[in-house]
Each structure stands twice: as C-alpha cells, then as structure tokens.
Structure 1
Amino acid sequence: MFRKIFIVPLLALLPVLLLSGCDSKMVVFDPKGPAAREILGLINWSLVFMALVVVVVFGLFGYIVWKYRATPENKDYVPPEEHGSTKLELIWTFIPILIVIALTIPTVSTIYKLEKVPAGYENKKPITINVTSADWKWIFSYPEQGIETVNYVNIPVGTPVKFKLTSAGTMQSFWVPQLGGQKYTMNKMETELYLTADEVGEYLGRNTNFNGKGYADMEFTVEAKNTKDFEKWVNEVKDTAPKLTEKKYYELLNPTHLGRETYVGTHLQWVDHSQMNSKTFTNPKLYEVHGVKGQIFKDEEPSTETSKDSTNTTDKSNGGEH
C-alpha cells in the first residue's frame, strides 16, 4: 500500500525529468539584463516555496495514510463520533492565506520595479524605440535616429530602452525572455516596457499570443551592441539603407512573413497606430485557410423605410393592420 501511494506521483514527474534534457539551456534561466534577473528571482522564489508546500503536503499525506491504514489489529475499530476540531480548521484556513501572501508580496513588488528604469540606470537617459506588430512581423521605429527596421532591433549595451508598444491590427505579445517579461501590443493603444541588456549578444524575441496560423513564426532578434558599434550601425543605415515610403510601409502591413529589412525614416510621420483615430490593418481578405478566404461580417440594421413598411402591412385574414 505504502509503495503504491508514492509510485503514482513519481511516474508523473518522470516525463518532466526526461524531457528537461531536450534543451540544455532554458533562456528564462539565463538572464542578460536587470529586468530578466528580477523575474528570475521571482520564479526561483515561487519554485522553492511551492516545492516546500508540495513536500509538506505529500509528507502529511503519506504519514496519514500509513498511520491510519487498515490492519488486522484494527479491522473491528469503530472511530468515535466527532464534530470537528476548531484548532485544525483554523490551521488549514490560515496556512493557505499565508501562502498567498508570501507569493503576492514579492510578485507585486517585482511588477512595480519592471514598470520603470532598472535600479542603477536612473541617471542614464533611455532611448525610445516604437514597436508595431503586424501579421506576422515586428516593425521597430527609431524616432530619435530616423531609422525603421523589420524583424530585428539593435540596442546599445548598458542603456535603458523604452519600448512603446502598439499594433497595426490584431493583438500580439512582445517577449524577449533573456531581457525581460512580455507585454501585449494592441491597436489604438500603447503600452511601455523598459529593457536593458548587460552583455553584448543576440537575443531571440517572439510573439506568444495566438492570432492565426502565422504567429508561430513571428520572431525577431535583439542585437545588443556596445555604444561605439551601435552608433556605427546607425550611420551605416543612414548612408546605405533605402528610404521608407508611405506606399512601401502599407505593403509591409500585409499578412506575410518577411526577413530582416532596414529603412531610413519611420512610418510615424504618416500613421501612429496607438491613436484612437488610426486605421486598423487586419486585411482579412488576404487570410486563407483550406482555400477559404477571410471576410468581414457586418450587422445590417433595418432601414427606416423597411420598418415603416412592416408596420403598415395589412393582414387580410384578420381584416386589420399590424
């Protein structure tokens, strides 16, 4: 009996232990910036605390099952009638409350820290990069440098970056696991996310919000460069990249997969998708699943004339009007 009790949970954990070897490094546990380290600290605290809870619960479970198991000696035992224990009920009521408090306080604290420039970088001026998600690509605008890139973004190491997030159409989720947490991009709205890279390198970002069959390949790269190399890249783009036109930008918004592209100028001079009066670019007629093209369905309201006609219709069978 005692063996059967512990075999089931061990078998449930076995796939996790085996599958953990499929990837030698989970990027969430390899932070390269202060925001990602804050999140990792919260994850580690939660894992340790929940593991402690699991150990205690399974320990009590095994102890109770073993102690009160049926044996030949107690097969005729009839327990006395009880009305419960106030002491025990208070214990198992307040313990979950304490667990929730222990997880809530560090979570709320971390959330507020992530909403501002990371500690230690307060005196360093952040650069601003506008992020626009479209089906199925990421568009990055540098208003201060006058540059726009597609599916990749370059940032200087050791400098806070203020990402201003919005969407040209459907809602997406912007996430760079090694630099910080995710935030949603929504049409006619704007969210902000501060990220900072401590090390030179290339970090993968992606969309984690399902919005159609193309979302799975909606990835981008963040290239963290030292300040000198970043300025060099900016100058090279201004000298060699083609100029972004309004026509070209609207072509970029079509639901397609693209590689890395670079332009001089930004689309902010024509459209700001975070504004309430901006147009929504969903292009449903270009979506196609199993040969069926997408379309927009509109609710047609009955016209005034139609309403009057229906009101004045004569019911001959009853000899009256309705």
Structure 2
Amino acid sequence: MRMKWTFLAAILTMIALLAGCEPLMVLDPKGPQAETTANVIWISIATMAIVVIAVFALMAYVVFKYRASKQSEDYEPPHIEGNHIVESIIVGIPVIIIIFLSIVTVKSNYAVEATPKGYEDQKPLVVYASSSDWKWHFSYPEENIETVNYLYIPTDRALEFRLYSYGPITSFWIPQLGGQKYAMSDMVTTLHLAAEVPGEYMGRNANFSGKGFAENIFHVEAMPEADFDKWVADVKATAEPLTEEKFNELLEPGHLGQLTFSGTHLEFLPPPEGHHHGSSHSDEDEHDSDDAQGAHDEHSNH
C-alpha cells in the first residue's frame, strides 16, 4: 500500500513539473514552414500513440482472457498451425502505417523546400547567412548592410536564406520559423522561410562544429515591414562600413557579440560558385552573382 501511494505521488509531482514547462519551440510555430513541420510531428505522435494504445489494450485483453487461473488443471491448449487473418492484420497494418507516414513526409518535404504558401507572387527578402568559428554573418545585399550574430526580418514577407560556411559544416536553424539546413564551404544551400508573428526568436547552429558550438547562436527579431525599413535606414546612417581587413578579423575563431555594418562582405568576398541546392534563383539573381564575382576578380587584380 505504501509503494502504491509513493508511486502515485511521484506521478503527480512529474505532472506538476511538466505543466510549468514552456512549449517546445518546434511545436510553437510562428510561420508557415514551421507549422508544416509541427503538423507532421503531431501526426507522427498521434499515429504512434494509436499503435501503442492498441498494443497495450490487446496485451491486457489476452493476459486477462487466457490467464492460467481461468483454466482447469487438465487443460491442454490446442495445436494451431497459423491463422491467415491474424497474419494479414499484423503485417498489413504496419505496411499501411508506413505508406501513410511516407506520403505525409514526402509532401511536407516538398512544401518546406518551396516558397511558403501564400507568398509565391511576392519578391523575397534575400539574406546571405554565412557561418564561421563560432559566429553567424548575415548579409543583406539589397539593403547593403551586414550584421553579426543577430538577424532582423520583416513579418508577412517571404525570406530566402542562402547559406554557406567559412569553416566546418554548420546547420542553420530557427525552430519557430522552420527546419534546419546545412551550410557548407563549397556550395550555397537555400532555405525558404516566413515569419507571420512579430517577436523575438532563437536561432542556432544545430550541427556540432567544435568546442565553441554551444555558444554558436544568434538572435532573431521579426517586425512589421515599416519597422524593418526604419532599422535599415538607421543602420545605413550610423553603422561603420565593413572593410575586407575587418571581415578577415571577424573570421578568426572565437565568440563575438552583436555587430552591425554598412556594406557587405559580398563586395570583396562573394559566396561559393558551386551548386545552389534548393535555390529558385532567377536569371536576375544569376546576373547579380556574376557582377559580384566580376567585382571580386577586379579587386584581386588590383
């Protein structure tokens, strides 16, 4: 009896503690891509819960119905070769579950790789997000500004992040806006996101990249378009220009706070020219890339 009350008290304590926890960030989406991911997670949890409940219910039924105390002392179970109906059920149901989850997963993968639904006809805000040991550099080519370890974005606008790395492979991840995607040194990967709720969010490197990995995080703030435009104007008016010498200092291994510059490092150190994975670049984007490379070549010749 004492063990029973101890067990009950432990269960109630766990429930009380869990009730005070904040919701998991991946299950608290603030954008369409993150909502798609959260929906897939909930569908998977519900499917697994149905399987677990059904299995335990059948186990309890079998244990109770065929318990030894119910049978006579001379009872001998019948010899059964097999049951085609039972075998079809225990094989068929897992196959159906796998097919269902596969369809859901494939459809969601295509959805999160594309421009967010409802933003297809809108020009996205392009941000080059590059990582180094152990910091993040965000370049806004159209706005001609650059930040370190923090990211300001407008709400209700498509976002196109072009990811690459100046060091080991990293993984760009803002849990409440979408899934993670790798940033590598020899290619550019593209991640499409959108924020529909103003607020502050956490972003980080989700791929282990050395001793400074734990602090390889960045701050994200989503705001209305008018506030974003005002911030851009303030940066252009007050921030120091980013020089090649200064950027080379930033690439040195170590941790930094939040920094802001006018101009971007794309002017003198363009991104890799390798395969653009997941990109939906237009011809105009390719032309801009060629111009950036041409400027870099001219700078090198000088």
TM class by shorter-chain length?
A: 0.7 to 0.9
CA offsets per residue over residues 29-56 of structure 1, 9 Å max, x none?
Answer: 2211111111122122121121111110
What residue number does 2:147 align with? 149
What residue number does 2:298 align with? none
What residue number does 1:223 align with? 221
Distance (whole Å) between structure 1 residues aligned to residue 16 and residue 270 of structure 2: 48
Please point out which of 29, 36, 42 is paired with 2:27: 29
What residue number does 1:173 align with? 171
Task: Tell me by how many angstroms 1:11 deviates.
Answer: 11
Stretch of structure 1 that moved more, 14-23 or 82-91: 14-23
Larger Rg computed on CA atoms: 1
Distance (whole Å) between structure 2 residues aligned to residue 190 and residue 107 of structure 1: 24
What residue number does 1:77 align with? 75
Distance (whole Å) between structure 1 residues aligned to residue 64 and residue 183 of structure 2: 53
Stretch of structure 1 that moved more, 66-75 or 194-203: 66-75
Give the direction of change, closer, same or farther, for the CA distance of 1:29–1:72 in structure 2 (3 Å limit): closer
Residues 36, 178 of structure 1: 8 Å contact kept: yes
- The RMSD of aligned alpha carbons is 2.5
Distance (whole Å) between structure 1 residues aligned to residue 271 and residue 12 of structure 2: 48
Task: Tell me by how many angstroms 1:167 deviates.
Answer: 1.0
Structure 2 segments unaligned to the other structure (5+ residues): 275-302
Identity over aligned pairs, percent: 48
Distance (whole Å) between structure 1 residues aligned to residue 135 and residue 245 of structure 2: 17
Correspondence 1:92 to 2:102: no
Residues 128, 163 of structure 1: 8 Å contact kept: yes
Task: Tell me by how many angstroms 1:13 deviates.
Answer: 8.6
Give the direction of change, closer, same or farther, for the CA distance of 1:13–1:161 in structure 2 (3 Å limit): farther
What TM-score do you get using the length of structure 2 for normalisation?
0.82
Distance (whole Å) between structure 2 residues aligned to residue 14 and residue 103 of structure 1: 34
CA offsets per residue over residues 216-261 of structure 1, 9 Å max, x none?
Answer: 1111111112111111111111111111111211111122111100
What residue number does 1:310 align with? none
Give the direction of change, closer, same or farther, for the CA distance of 1:22–1:211 in structure 2 (3 Å limit): farther
Please point out which of 230, 233, 236 is paired with 1:232: 230
Stretch of structure 1 that moved more, 74-83 or 55-64: 74-83
Task: Tell me by how many angstroms 1:26 deviates.
Answer: 2.2
What residue number does 1:253 align with? 251
What residue number does 1:295 align with? none
Task: Tell me by how many angstroms 1:69 deviates.
Answer: 1.9
What residue number does 2:134 align with? 136
What does 1:260-275 correspond to in 2, within 5 Å?
A: 260-275=258-273
**1:71 aligned counterpart, secondary structure:** helix
Task: Tell me by how many angstroms 1:15 deviates.
Answer: 9.0
Residues 168, 273 of structure 1: 8 Å contact kept: no
Residues 136, 256 of structure 1: 8 Å contact kept: yes
What does 1:162-201 correspond to in 2, within 5 Å?
A: 162-201=160-199
Give the direction of change, closer, same or farther, for the CA distance of 1:150–1:188 in structure 2 (3 Å limit): same
Distance (whole Å) between structure 1 residues aligned to residue 73 and residue 15 of structure 2: 40
Distance (whole Å) between structure 2 residues aligned to residue 17 and residue 127 of structure 1: 43
1:130 corresponds to which letter in structure 2?
A: Y
What TM-score do you get using the length of structure 1 for normalisation?
0.77
Correspondence 1:124 to 2:89: no
Distance (whole Å) between structure 2 residues aligned to residue 25 and residue 165 of structure 1: 28
Task: Tell me by how many angstroms 1:19 deviates.
Answer: 5.4
Please point out which of 50, 58, 61 is paired with 1:60: 58
2:29 corresponds to which letter in structure 1?
A: P
**2:254 aligned counterpart, secondary structure:** coil
